[in-house]
Chains A and B, each alone.
Chain A
Amino acid sequence: MYVKSKWDEIKISWSFRVKEWKFILKRISESPLAVTGIAIIFGFLIIACLAPILAPPQGPDPFIVPQDIEIATLTPNPTPPSTRHIFGTTDQQYDIYYACIWGTISAFRVGLSVIIIALLIGLVIGTLSAYYGGIIDEILMRITDIIIAFPGLLLAMVMAITFPTVLPLDITLLTLIITAIFSLTLIISKSRRKLLLAILAVFVGDLFLYIYNPIIIPLNLSKLDKVLISLALVSWPGYARLIRSEVLRVKSEDFVEAAKVAGCSTLRIIVKHIWPNTIYSLIIVSTLDIGSIVLTAAALSFLGIGAEPNFADWGQIISRSRNWISRPDLLVANYHTFLIPGIFITLFVLGWNLLGDALRDVLDPMIRRR
């Protein structure tokens, strides 16, 4: 194709992408399951955005569920749905409606942030391991094996309990580690000697700084943050493995060889050629996983390791009903305390799963154009 100017070149390169996205959107809109999934997620997004209007906060922190003191003086037991509290109240008179509305935001926060942290860790480790292979692959994969072999829910529990509330974030140590990783990758890639020297110099500087004057920033973590961090630390190995296998697949493709021959740097090959080709499976898997992560977080809340007791979180409300598992009369009388938040959780997870399932059919290159 004859290219007139730089602008035309950009236009042509983009026209393929636009065509691609149009095709994907068309396929999605044709699948009723995907449309349902998107509608559910969109509904929850609207609830999350309108939370201050739907349930006006009554204190400085909107995530603290308000307590109905008037009824609390009369009875400690949960009250069934009424005009005053549409979804009823839990024991100690926490409003379930309020918690469900604001819990939507917590659910998005948990799902998205865990996925993002886990994906980032997985991306770095998986790519390094697949691209360089050899001893690095061996070491990194054995570490992932250990974490995968671990009962994840339990590991998350132990981590969430033992994590300190104030995390001393050691900035110098962090930069030390990052520069160490950078210089390691440069050593292996056998190129850019000057950059390597510069990074090593920074490393040595960091080392001195660390020995004489470590900069420590105390990071206050809420209970939910601890759950987030521990879930992310438990769930990255799956992504690392997935990304590794994807990179291994892409690495042997002709266009990567061509890029190597054309003299592209390792970093450029990874970022420009390999990552874009792994993105679809990552999108599918992370969409499917947001649901599971919200479920796991809710399960942790149910087991007693979640947010603070009065924090607006779906799992937290259901966990209160553990008190009447052994009492059949209470179990029936207080059905609303677990039924309604449970419906919220199920719908939320269902939305993501429907979307992920449909995306799998649409995006998966092996089955899409059959």
Chain B
Amino acid sequence: MLLLGLSENQALLGDLHRIIFSLNLNTPPLFFLQIKMVSLLTYIVRRLILLTFVLLGVTLLIFAITMLLPIEVRAMLYARNYQHISPQGLRELAEKYGLTRPFHEQYFTWLSQVLQGNLGWAKSSSQPVLEAMLSRWPYTFEIVILAAPIMIFLGIYLGIQSAIHKDGIIDHICRILSIVGWSLPSFWLGLLLLSVFYGLLGWLPPGPISDELRQIRDSSLFIRYTRIDLIDGLLNGYPQITLDVLKHAILPVVVIVVINMALLVRVMRSSMLEALNKPYIVTARAKGLDEKTVIYKHARRNALIPTVTLSGMLVAGLLGGLVITETVFAFGGLGQWAATAALQLDIPAVLGYAMLSAFLFVIANLIVDIMYAYLDPRIRLE
């Protein structure tokens, strides 16, 4: 099931099945809570309480997992130069950083630091965690902001076409394309694209920005208003930077679009088919409406609801970092940073990242639920 976009490879996002199945079972995909609520406000407040609970749970879980490591290994993570360290030195380090203390004490020490706004020091990138995340985030944002509209519109369009021409040639092509797209390993697709467009043709290099332009961007003359190069280039009057960023982003965007679109096409197709089988469509046709109005005004509107839900969840997942795609294209975004941190067991960084993505997940759920209630009058957050 899908890991909520965090592996762009569709794995583990449990809610996908609920979304797909809810189409058939007519259960509203209200996540988390079977809500019986007085108003929207109480609903939101309850969700925010849940958020703190989820954040605590997520961090506790990681803390517990890292406790599986022997103390020596964990002390090693704090060492500056771990090749030349004696067992005695390790023990001193463990004492110094309180690793010998009981689990709950260590967790509460970390928690009190977090509540003071200190997420700790990310050793893997030699930066404070918060700063590291803020500096990596714009790269991820660039890809997502470019990929999301393409993927959502193409997904909806192809899904509708596929449903209208059910069992026709267009339907078969769309279905096969979406199943193949769904089956492609993102890192493999990335490698293939890189070897053709960078290796063979030399057009589209990896990385977020060219080296010469990186110097301009990092110079003092260039003011980083938003930290997003795509926008800052235009604001500073360097359109070549914007163009260069666009050029670098093409391949990652293609990978993200191909893989996530497959999912959207499938969901859109099945919900459109479901909608086209409803009695109100028969009524609309019996009234003598032309097919276009029936499809685009009556069926599409109702079929869009699950797709909107899924798109929201997908985009939220993508914003949390594209671990594999960013690693393949060396794009330097949140996902790549998190992967490096996890590989080097940089615990504060992993904890910070986990909190960020859990936060995004809960907020995305909240927004999706509210939108759902807004789109479908039958579902009210009572």
Contact = CB atoms under 8 A, between A and B. Distances in A.
Interface string B227-259: 000000000000000000000000000000000
B342 A366 contact: no
A326 B11 contact: no
Contacts of B188: 318, 338, 342, 345-346
A60 B139 CA distance: 48
B173 interface: no
B6 A325 contact: no
A282 B378 CA distance: 29
Given A234-B12, A281-B21, A292-B10, A151 B339 contact: no
B68 A164 contact: yes
Contacts of A144: 14
Contacts of A281: 17, 21
A245 B27 contact: yes
B129 interface: no
Interface stretch (B108-116, B299-307, B320-328): B320-328
Interface string A75-116: 000000000000000000000000000000000000000000
Interface stretch (A17-25, A155-163, A191-199): A155-163
Given A146-B58, A289-B1, A318-B191, A157 B18 contact: no
Interface in A349-370: 349-350, 353-354, 357, 364, 366-367, 370
A299 B187 contact: yes
A339 B196 CA distance: 12
Contacts of B176: 33
Interface in A132-186: 141-155, 157-159, 161-164
B185 A298 contact: yes
A128 interface: no
A325 to B, nearest CB: 6
Interface stretch (B153-161, B199-207, B280-288, B289-297): B199-207
A350 B17 contact: no
Interface centre among A147, A238, A285, A349 (most CB of B within 10 A): A238
Interface in A324-342: 325-326, 328-329, 331-332, 335, 338-339, 342
Contacts of B1: 235, 238-239, 285, 289, 292
Nearest to A248: B27
Interface stretch (B84-92, B93-101, B209-217, B352-360): B352-360
The B interface is mostly helix, strand or loop, or mixed, namely helix
A303 B324 contact: yes
Nearest to B31: A145
A302 B11 contact: no
Interface in B351-381: 353-354, 357-358, 361-362
Contacts of A154: 6, 323, 338-339, 342, 350, 353-354, 357
A245 B9 contact: no
Given A296-B12, A338-B188, A357 B7 contact: no
Given A153-B7, A292-B2, A326-B206, A158 B324 contact: no
A152 B11 contact: yes
Given A242-B17, A326-B330, A370-B277, A150 B58 contact: yes
B11 A295 contact: yes
B344 to A, nearest CB: 9
B14 A364 contact: no
A292 B2 CA distance: 8
A140 to B, nearest CB: 13
Nearest to B365: A149
B10 to A, nearest CB: 5
A316 interface: no
27 contacts: A145-B50, A145-B57, A150-B58, A150-B358, A151-B6, A151-B320, A152-B3, A153-B324, A157-B342, A157-B343, A158-B345, A158-B350, A163-B68, A238-B14, A241-B15, A292-B9, A298-B187, A299-B7, A302-B185, A303-B327, A305-B343, A338-B192, A346-B184, A349-B185, A350-B179, A353-B183, A367-B24
Interface string A233-277: 011011101100100010000000000000000000000000000
Interface stretch (B59-67, B120-128, B140-148): B59-67
A305 B9 CA distance: 16
A157 B66 CA distance: 12
